[in-house]
Structure 1
């Protein structure tokens, strides 16, 4: 709450996704507004760079079939689903026009992302020339990606460490971003919803509502949520300049969150508190309380469904009340990007269930054109190309039996199915949730033991165009080296 006011302006805000999908919904919030909020001309598009978007990806978003909406003070609006291919780990631009004075915006101050403000209604523009910039999010709270293969979502609830306050602008190196990449690389299709608010506390309001007060809205009310990781809020309670709560009071608050999560059917993953000696808010009493909270979390009977040991992951073994110097952002309160990655690495992915891929079987294709592995680059957002030197998530595909000797390929990069786009006239890309004729191929073995793919949609062979330097496309009538692939299974 407490953000700036806008009038006759377009906001273009950049959201970095965790999972991919083929449709999405938006949530527009006027939760902390004092007057109705009017929003018009809402658009989503793939961001290319800066304020620029791919115009071919641009989609208008409606609310109850209408292109404009008025959100009552204290209310939230959810859009209609919009058919929109969302790539995993990609940037989506959400643009909307605010025709009249909004009053103080419901906003997220510490966005660590450059967003754009331009005069007039320019939501559909490819680039917002002359736009001003800020690092906050206003009114937009959710980009809810729809993916039928998704296994659920995890909310990361915390304060500035979760908010990524010490990560660099526009880098997407908050620890929840790092966790999203780990989940994707493991083959799990799990959305990561970052609900970190810098300065937030567990017990008392201040920098936003306390974790206790916002839990229903920010955790149990989120789409598809199955898990919550509670992170660093209590550090701010302990660092209060006066009237800091005791460890017992904070443990009691934590127990309330655990109980409410379980009542909602969610798994609650507890994080130990990172060290903060040397910071301006550190006291010996606070350190004693931190130790008692960490002991409670690590002990039996806490009610935690799992532990993320952020403390052990980041502290200096020789001086455990302080950060390891390599992980200290410099203020002795926040971890730097290496420390944020260490926190993400401390999350046991088995807490989210077994990987569906690539832990199971997969296929990889190596082109005879250049000896490179076929990849679904940019998290599956770009066309398939033979450019991989080794096999990783981007080079792994599920082979889906379609019967009658036909197959479809599902990319591990984004859990979407490969299509011969535009009836084979455009390059292959992984952007479909179901297999039809464009997504079906005949897998043929050649005399030398290699394989070729023939697209059902046009009867053409898939080629590694330009000796593998260009994207794969189904446009050949016969098989030569460019159309031959070694197939590896695992």
Structure 2
């Protein structure tokens, strides 16, 4: 699981370029004032290439969310010389190395097609009105006009074919002369991020970890890493949340054996990601145990506590992951169990828990993988195991919705109480019900007869909540208001489903709203 690289710890600034979001490649994107949110990323480390010279590198990225404009980040974090970029092109991918004709756009930097990135420096490209689709492939082509040093800044184990062609070929849809992985494997070179502008986006979640997060044993070119599968779940749930993979195979909390130590790179790779609202701290700690000098439980618990504190100081919620099983002596297994017990405890400080251990372990022997999820090395999950991890993520932990408490009194929603989609509030005599229907509408029914409707059928109502300010509000899955009673300014007010079929909001002064 370890990949040894030179310890090159330099100050970093990330190179960014803007680009658009397209649900159809002929649609024109729009640069907006919406905040930037990451849709794709890899964590920078050192690659195994011999350098490039008068070549174009076409790299394929698979998005999580779409947007109406976009930007990319290029990194020279581990470079030993300034990096000269001749030009950059972005296009929709067709298949293999080919892009869709007519979808290509040039990227500029301050109005110029070329840019030089100093060692450890960053640069931002001009915005491009190019629509980026959700859950789709985008091709980014970098022309490198002069020789670059070996061991580029990039990401090894990218599990995606990268295409290299002689000369300046970025604008060519056929990428003539391009060959796959000729620089030494499925790595990403210099490219670390793609961000989008999307007014519906509620933020991004960063998956932070090592080879399990990196999807090491997943099938190449299929986007079956668990963060990819999580992105699919979020889209199906109607949640516009970017998913950013910041896993590095071999990474751990404390050493620089594979990229910078997790505790060192956390600020850059997590807290500084565009639009980040949540982070899932995954499997770095597994590597701290799976070595000749394993860490102690207090050391690992202290690392988790430090990351929780740093995240909360940045107003980012941290989801802790339990440590998956691996072949280890009893003393190390005891440490893993102690760390997992801390993570699962109500006093851990974690905002939520992703129980990866339970998701992939054999129920009859939690110290080993369920055979159906074992990648074959007793350490990494296979595609089915990675799907099981993605399925174990509680999507409510990534919601921008305010929390709701269940009703505590018959027929009544007090401050902070509410109903989720599919739930109902029944009047005390049981004759009438306020419903949050699966079709998105709010209705009052008597048995099967609807006697009142908010007229919201076809919407994406996720919950109805009685706000502390006295307003009754229906939210969609992204936290946007779909309907409200307009009764804010009445703290302590409550909604009451009366036995005459009327929904009434009462404040200290009496009734302030009625469904009639």
TM above 0.5, yes or no, is yes
- Counterpart of 1:14 in structure 2 is 60
Q: How does 1:290-309 map to 2 (within 5 A)?
A: 290-309=336-355
1:300, distance to aligned residue in structure 2 (A) = 2.2
TM norm structure 2: 0.68
- Counterpart of 1:268 in structure 2 is 318
Unaligned runs of 5+ in 1: 365-395, 400-411, 415-490
Contact 2:166 2:177 in 1 (8 A): no
CA distance in 2 between counterparts of 1:203 and 1:304 reads: 20
Q: How does 1:464-479 map to 2 (within 5 A)?
A: none
Residue by residue over 1:357-414, the C-alpha shift from the partner in whole angstroms, topping out at 9 and shown as x without a partner, is 99988989xxxxxxxxxxxxxxxxxxxxxxxxxxxxxxx8879xxxxxxxxxxxx9x9
- Counterpart of 2:238 in structure 1 is 187
Counterpart pick for 1:121 among 152, 168, 190:
168
Residue by residue over 1:287-311, the C-alpha shift from the partner in whole angstroms, topping out at 9 and shown as x without a partner, is 1111111011011221100000000
- Counterpart of 2:399 in structure 1 is 353
Counterpart pick for 1:2 among 31, 38, 46:
46
1:147, distance to aligned residue in structure 2 (A) = 0.7
Counterpart pick for 1:163 among 214, 219, 224:
214
SS of the residue 1:56 aligns to: coil
1:2, distance to aligned residue in structure 2 (A) = 3.1
CA distance in 2 between counterparts of 1:110 and 1:119 reads: 24
Aligned-pair Cα RMSD in Å: 2.4
Q: How does 1:44-83 map to 2 (within 5 A)?
A: 44-83=90-129
1:354, distance to aligned residue in structure 2 (A) = 5.7
Residues 330 and 20 (structure 1), Cα distance of their counterparts in 2 relative to 1, 3 Å cut = same
- Counterpart of 1:35 in structure 2 is 81
Unaligned runs of 5+ in 2: 1-44, 403-419, 423-435, 441-457, 462-475, 479-516
Residues 363 and 249 (structure 1), Cα distance of their counterparts in 2 relative to 1, 3 Å cut = closer
CA distance in 2 between counterparts of 1:75 and 1:206 reads: 23
Residue by residue over 1:66-110, the C-alpha shift from the partner in whole angstroms, topping out at 9 and shown as x without a partner, is 211100001232322211111110000000100111213101001
- Counterpart of 1:288 in structure 2 is 334
1:338, distance to aligned residue in structure 2 (A) = 0.6
1:286, distance to aligned residue in structure 2 (A) = 1.9
Q: How does 1:342-381 map to 2 (within 5 A)?
A: 342-353=388-399
Counterpart pick for 2:364 among 318, 321, 325:
318
- Counterpart of 2:263 in structure 1 is 212
CA distance in 2 between counterparts of 1:226 and 1:308 reads: 16
State whether structure 2 residue 178 is matched by structure 1 residue 131.
yes
- Counterpart of 1:256 in structure 2 is 306
- Counterpart of 2:293 in structure 1 is 243
1:127, distance to aligned residue in structure 2 (A) = 1.5
SS of the residue 2:89 aligns to: strand
Counterpart pick for 1:111 among 154, 158, 163:
158
Q: How does 1:457-468 map to 2 (within 5 A)?
A: none
Contact 1:203 1:250 in 2 (8 A): no
CA distance in 2 between counterparts of 1:76 and 1:206 reads: 25
Contact 1:188 1:355 in 2 (8 A): no
SS of the residue 1:83 aligns to: coil
CA distance in 2 between counterparts of 1:267 and 1:325 reads: 33
TM norm structure 1: 0.72
SS of the residue 1:78 aligns to: coil
Matched residue count: 367
1:355, distance to aligned residue in structure 2 (A) = 7.0
1:47, distance to aligned residue in structure 2 (A) = 0.3
Counterpart pick for 1:338 among 370, 373, 384:
384
Contact 1:116 1:131 in 2 (8 A): yes
SS of the residue 1:46 aligns to: strand
Moved more, 126-135 or 226-235: 126-135
- Counterpart of 2:252 in structure 1 is 201
